[in-house]
Structure 1
Amino acid sequence: MHNVQLFIPCFVDQLYPETGMNMVRVLEKLGCNVHYNPKQTCCGQPAFNAGYWDDAKAVATKFLNDFDKDFYIVGPSGSCTGYVRNYFEKMFANSAEHNLSNKVRGYMYEFTEFLTDVLKVEDVGAVFPGKATYHDACGALRECGIKAGPRKLLDNVKGLEVVEMKECETCCGFGGTFAVKYEPISIGMAQTKVQSALDAGAEYMISTDVSCLMHIQGYIEKNNIPMKTVHIADILASGE
């Protein structure tokens, strides 16, 4: 049995708690012993991306101390996972937390990556009727190298037809504060992403990151487009 600690990112905690619960359902179904520390907070990525490195380090230091150093840390976000893996080393270089940071980084996994790479599972017995396309979130794809795993999991969902869209690897335009600072560009990128999914005939757009999906869903709803975004954990937790 694998001991798993949950990391619940800010967007999931505040806006999409059902996605976190669905991740738990899948992990427990696969025999994992799941733990959650309710005192955990943000990983510090928003402050880091905005240039407030001292504030980000303070939050990241708390992150290091919120988790047991000998258990896997699993979260439904390629963005947060990529940040912890790739930027904690730089942030804690030549500091007292350097060794602790390296250990925590080694235990950090994005949800689908944990299923396919650690548990070696590609079929969780999910059922979800419909036609969907997969959006490669920047954090998952570019910072974690996650590409084939989510597609293998989706291919084994009963009733789900997965089609590739032309712009699957193109950024959706969210990028945290990017969407605020460069709104017209951000909206144009969301438009390109959604149109690509429509051209593929998709009813649903699936991804590893709710931040991307929130941005895309906002564009969909504002323009009354017949499509819906769904986090992959919500798909994998669906059953008969």
Structure 2
Amino acid sequence: MLFRQLFDPGTSTYTYLIADIQTREAALVDAVLEQVERDTRLLRELGLALRYCLETHVHADHVTGAGQLKALTGCQTIVPQYAEVACADRQLHDDEEIWIGDISIKAIATPGHTDSHLAYLVNQTHLLTGDALLIRGCGRTDFQSGNAGLLYDAITQRLFTLPGDTLVYPGHDYRGQTVSTIWEERQWNPRLARRSRQDFIEFMAGLRLPPPQKMMEAVPANQVCGQVEVHA
């Protein structure tokens, strides 16, 4: 398996490239509009054919590159079930699997940050958690129909039950961290470790975070697969 973690410094967003080395088929997860040129160049350099462009959720902090990547490569755009993205080619359900050659990508429903959110378990070893579980943190729950109780349940009952050596790759990191494990996050994530569901709900309600800078632009743009003009 070829696996690459790519970073957008403007939004601290991680995009993930997954490919089967034998078939040269590839998928991108959480592509960023401003990085489409970077991503297509990398695909060309590595001799890969982009088959899927997946989203973990409808993002509020960046505009997706999925629509442009589809126009350039003919890939399918995939969003979680119930996401309000009519232009997507396909919605993935909880526990549904897609394949890139011999590499499995399994969807795990992780609502709470938004009401429609998936994590992706790649080949049973690499967990792409989107904005649900972050390294020593988690996604906020105060907009886009967020629900702290649902997020706690999704993380503790779905993600934390995976093997401890499962690698955790988040959708964002603001401190330069790149990867963790399920064992580490069970033990050391300050928002979740040894915290009850009610404690977590109260903690999240008290965060009082400012809205994402791009939210008013990003959410409507992502509901049309990011098909907007990029302004310099």
TM-score (norm 1): 0.30
- Quick check: which has more Rg, 1 or 2? 1
Higher strand residue share: 2
TM-score (norm 2): 0.31
